[in-house]
Amino acid sequence: MALSSPPSSAQVQAAYCNQTGCLRRFFLPILAMLLVSTGMILGLSRIEIVQAETPPPTPSTDTSEVASTIAPLFTPEILAWEEQILFWSEKYALDPNLIATVMQIESCGYILARSPAGAMGLFQVMPYHFSDGENPYDPSTNAKRGLIYLRQSLAIGGDPRMALAGYNGGITGAQRPPQTWPKETHRYLYWGLAIYQDAQQHLDHSSRLEEWLASGGASLCKLARDQ
């Protein structure tokens, strides 16, 4: 048998190209699928990392959603003002139960209330808060001046406790350490904060309010009933 002559270099190159072409046709689709899958895995991993690094949402401090009624625990003299309190709540962006609490311990709804220090009206507003020509005993005017100050105190203090302290002792005074607050401010918080917390739960009774009435508040409420 005759031996065949060795293949030329051109023939070897053509055969190699044909073989690698076959390899490319076979392996490239698989390689492409692997690359796509790897990219998807890496991409998903990156998404998971980004999500893990994203800080949790800050708890909402929005106070715009307030009660639509005041708690039934307030005295009848305050409950008689409920419609007006709800109006003021929307107008001045304050919780109506906070407004009712302040009115309860300031005047019990007695329009002509006046303190030895000179505070006047429903919200016991000091004279220097009024403009010339304003009637301090007019309920709308008194509420305007008192509740604007209460809202400022709440905004600066950041919570009802500091709002009540600022309302009674002055916003600047409430920013000092509590141990420097006057006794009157501590008494005001003793009454007001517990009553407000009961009102937030919409209770129909507050032992702290009953204690306030027994400590002299009842006489103020009688003036309100008789006016």
Tokens of residue 197, six digits: 């917390």
- Entry field: residues in the chain: 227
3-class secondary-structure state, position 114: strand
Task: Report the distance separating Cα 82 and Cα 116, nearest Å.
Answer: 28
48 flagged as catalytic: no
Tokens of residue 22, six digits: 């076959």
Are the C-beta atoms of 124 and 115 separated by less than 8 Å?
yes
Annotated active-site residue in 48, 65, 106, 184: 106
Closest CA to 152 of 130, 136, 135, 175: 175
| Residues that are catalytic | 106
